[in-house]
């Protein structure tokens, strides 16, 4: 505009072009503290408006200001993309060596087998092959023996009425989120033989924009016949996958109509077909080849859940995920609602009992938050955050009228674990961006030492062998916690410990017993 004012179109969307993201371009963008430029003036920025007619056009007018969070995000993305290939190979080597040592009875056993030429070599994709996360936490059994009455009293109703006998529904969903990082045969073995439930299918889905199978999930039922519960678990951010991490911090957004602004990277992971127009990105129907060579996650999962509901008419659906998987678990029902007038989407949505996420990043703006919270009325939505988990605090909440590049906010209340034994229900976790050098960082380091003490002494002697941590885990906490403290709190192991041990304070107990929460509990009674 001639008077220099910005024009903000409610349908504006923004894409960060990774191939144009360079340190030189980032430095130029933020070299002047009072610089105000349209985002599209920068080499890495592509911005547009999407008129209702379904064509793109207009000029995108959001401007970049010298805010700390935005350049930090762009620099982080660039570093991750630079190290993607070596990080991937590092992961392959580490996993192979860990499995090689484990398969041959430890380091001494491996030396003996080398001397006797009887070495067993691990085969990726088998039930015996484990990811790094499975070595960090090798537990596969559900927490059926532990009484929530002694630990998580306010959630006792969820276990008694919405669980499966003595199984804690929180533990079940977190364990499902944890094993989602493993291969299909490993998952099938755990579900069928350890949990005595019914494994349905593992999904390795296509990301059109990465041109790779970048999204994984699996579905299981509590019983093979006449199931009461169906669980969909999305895989989260893999430790050695730089593209997953760069997706978590990405600021790219697309305007999704009544859903508001949504994180573009997460939509791509779910099977987005067009990155500029949401209606084209997620059409109501998408042809799925049989067998699907390049399956789009949302469509194959929706179709299979619909088929399962035909076979199990009383079943309720729980969607879960850790990290990036939690983000996908949150967006999935929103797109179902967007397509609710189609038969399969409406059926799946009407049978949805709840969404339970762990260490979930932010996925949308205030409009999406209002939409999602309305959608989940009468259903269970629980978002867990363990201490200073950095992933639950990205993309950064950096939105204001001058810097409208990061409009992300969390949905609903969260259960915040400020330790293995304590939890609170809050609107938002403390230190929402975890970058305050005066308060957040010192508290992170203090919490690292607290967790290290618990790992060395309290858990081993007070809570039983299943919580005992060996020297490798202690080393992980000691080194990882001090090099990258915010990431150390993201471990699935800590979330499993928290769901099994944490107690709620009195104020949080009252919040969970509110009318809305009781409606959620009553709905979950239908599972049994």
Per-residue b/e over 211-224, b at no fewer than 16 CB within 10 Å? eeebbbbbbbbbee
Residue 453: Cβ-neighbour burial (10 angstroms; 0-12, 13-18, 19+): exposed
DSSP result, 2-17:
TTS-----TTEEEEE-
Query: Can you give the pLDDT at residue 111?
Result: 92
The pair of three-digit structure tokens given for residue 310, joined into one six-digit string: 């035909």
Taking CA atoms, 283 is separated from 216, 335, 431, in Å, by 21, 10, 38
Strand partners, 63: 38
Q: Find all residues with CB under 8 Å of 55, minimum gap 6, and list them.
A: none
The beta strands (E) that lie in 283-426 are given as 316-322, 352-358, 380-386, 414-419, 422-426
| DSSP-derived 3-state class of residue 57 | strand
- Residue given tokens 């967790």 in the structure block: 451
Residue spans of the chain under pLDDT 50: 1-9, 32-34, 53-61, 63-66, 146-163, 515-528
51: left (phi over 0), alpha (psi -120 to 50) or beta: beta
pLDDT on residue 482: 66
Helix (H, G, I), strand (E, B) or coil at 196: coil
d(CA 367, CA 378): 20
Predicted local distance difference test score (pLDDT) of residue 158: 45
- HEC sequence for 101-138: HHHCCHHHHHHHHHHCCCCCCCCCCCCCCCCHHHHHCC
Q: Are the C-beta atoms of 286 and 321 separated by less than 8 Å?
A: no
DSSP 173: H
Residues recognised as catalytic = 323, 389, 490
pLDDT of residue 452: 75
**What distance in Å separates the CA atoms of residue 72 and residue 75, rounded to the nearest whole number?**
5
Q: Is 417 left (phi over 0), alpha (psi -120 to 50) or beta?
A: beta
What is the token pair recorded at 149?
A: 């009455």
Pairing of strands 422-426, 229-234: unpaired
Residue 141, helix vs strand vs coil: coil
Domain 127-435+489-527 in CATH 3.90.1150.10: no
Calculate the CA 493 to chain-centre distance: 15
Alpha-carbon span 369 to 373, nearest angstrom: 6
For the stretch 147-196, pLDDT in tens is 433 444 444 344 433 445 566 788 899 999 999 999 999 999 999 999 99
pLDDT digits (tens, 9 = 90+) for 217-257: 999 999 999 999 999 999 999 999 998 988 888 888 898 98
- In order, the DSSP letters of 258-322 are GG-EEEHHHHHHHT-S-SS-HHHHS-S-----SS-SS--HHHHHHHHHHHHHHH-TT-EEEEEEE
At 479 the pLDDT is 72
């Amino acid at each position: 505009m001639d008077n220099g004012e910005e024009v903000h179109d409610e349908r504006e969307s923004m894409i960060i072009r990774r191939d144009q993201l360079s340190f030189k371009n980032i430095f130029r963008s933020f070299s002047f503290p009072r610089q105000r430029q349209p985002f599209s003036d920068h080499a890495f920025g592509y911005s547009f408006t999407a008129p209702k007619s379904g064509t793109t056009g207009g000029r995108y007018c959001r401007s970049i200001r010298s805010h700390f969070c935005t350049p930090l995000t762009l620099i982080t993305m660039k570093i991750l993309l630079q190290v993607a290939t070596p990080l991937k190979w590092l992961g392959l080597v580490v996993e192979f060596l860990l499995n090689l040592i484990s398969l041959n009875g430890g380091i001494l056993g491996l030396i003996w087998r080398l001397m006797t030429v009887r070495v067993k070599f691990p085969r990726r994709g088998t039930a015996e092959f484990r990811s790094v996360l499975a070595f960090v936490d090798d537990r596969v059994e559900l927490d059926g023996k532990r009484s929530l009455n002694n630990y998580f009293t306010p959630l006792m109703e969820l276990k008694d009425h919405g669980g499966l006998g003595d199984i804690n529904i929180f533990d079940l969903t977190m364990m499902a989120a944890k094993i989602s990082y493993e291969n299909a045969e490993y998952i099938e073995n755990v579900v069928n033989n350890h949990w005595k439930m019914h494994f349905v299918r593992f999904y390795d889905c296509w990301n059109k924009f990465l041109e790779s199978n970048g999204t994984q999930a699996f579905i299981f039922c509590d019983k093979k016949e006449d199931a009461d519960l169906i669980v969909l678990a999305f895989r989260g951010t893999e430790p050695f996958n730089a593209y997953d991490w760069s997706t978590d911090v990405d600021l790219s957004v697309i305007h999704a109509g009544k859903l508001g602004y949504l994180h573009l990277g997460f939509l791509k992971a779910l099977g987005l077909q067009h990155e500029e127009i949401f209606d084209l990105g997620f059409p109501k129907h998408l042809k799925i080849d049989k067998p699907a060579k390049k399956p789009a996650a949302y469509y194959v999962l929706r179709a299979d859940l619909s088929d399962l509901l035909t076979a199990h008419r009383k079943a309720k659906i729980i969607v879960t995920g850790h990290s990036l998987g939690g983000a996908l678990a949150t967006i999935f029902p929103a797109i179902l609602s967007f397509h609710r007038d189609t038969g399969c989407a409406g059926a799946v949505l009407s049978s949805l009992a709840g969404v339970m996420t762990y260490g979930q990043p932010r996925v949308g703006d205030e409009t999406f938050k209002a939409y999602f919270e309305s959608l989940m009325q009468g259903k269970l939505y629980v978002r867990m955050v363990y201490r200073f988990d950095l992933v639950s605090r990205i993309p950064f909440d950096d939105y204001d009228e001058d810097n409208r590049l990061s409009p992300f906010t969390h949905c609903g209340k969260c259960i915040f674990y400020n330790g293995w034994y304590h939890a609170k229900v809050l609107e938002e976790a403390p230190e929402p961006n975890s970058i305050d050098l005066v308060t957040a960082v010192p508290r992170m380091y203090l919490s690292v030492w607290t967790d290290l003490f618990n790992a060395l002494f309290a858990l081993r002697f007070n809570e039983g062998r299943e919580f005992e941590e060996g020297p490798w885990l202690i080393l992980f906490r000691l080194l990882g916690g001090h090099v990258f403290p915010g990431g150390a709190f993201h471990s699935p192991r800590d979330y499993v410990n928290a769901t099994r041990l944490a107690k709620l304070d009195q104020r949080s107990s009252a919040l969970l017993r509110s009318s809305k929460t009781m409606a959620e509990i009553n709905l979950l009674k239908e599972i049994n």
